[in-house]
Amino acid sequence: MRKTVYSLLASAFIVSAAGLAAVAQEDVVQHGAQVFMDVGCWQCHGTVGQGGAGPALLPNLHPEEVLATFVRQGTIGGMPPYTHAVLSNEDLHAIYAYLKSLPAPGTPELLQGE
């Protein structure tokens, strides 16, 4: 009986820890969306990374380190460098989490406007 109680308690703990992690990740994604708008990435890359004056960032999203290098250094083709003063590492990571959470352009999910 005692064993059952312990294992019930343990599984309740595991379930709530997983729930918390999911909520935290959702927060990061939402924060990333906000930063993407605030620092103006959307003006060149579109609000959902679909591209505009700048190239589409999806569906072939670069690995995070590569994306970070582009953002920190800027590009000769017109992308300004974003220094730590205007964009912290946490914010940059959140942008990445946001982009990663987006469906690739043209997938049924996006076409249905979800």
Q: Which residues bind ligand HEC (CB under 6 A)?
A: 39-41, 43-45, 53-55, 57, 62, 67, 70-71, 75-80, 82, 95
Q: Please give the full DSSP string across 2-30, using - where no structure is assigned.
A: HHHHHHHHHHHHHHHHHHHHHHHHHHHHH
The residue number with the shortest CB distance to ligand HEC is 77
Nearest residue (CB) to ligand HEC, 11 versus 75: 75
Phi then psi dihedrals of residue 93, to 5 deg:
-65, -40
Nearest residue (CB) to ligand HEC, 39 versus 110: 39
Q: Provide the minimum distance between the beta carbon of 51 and ligand HEC in the complex, in angstroms, as a whole number.
A: 9
Distance CA 75, CA 97 (A): 22
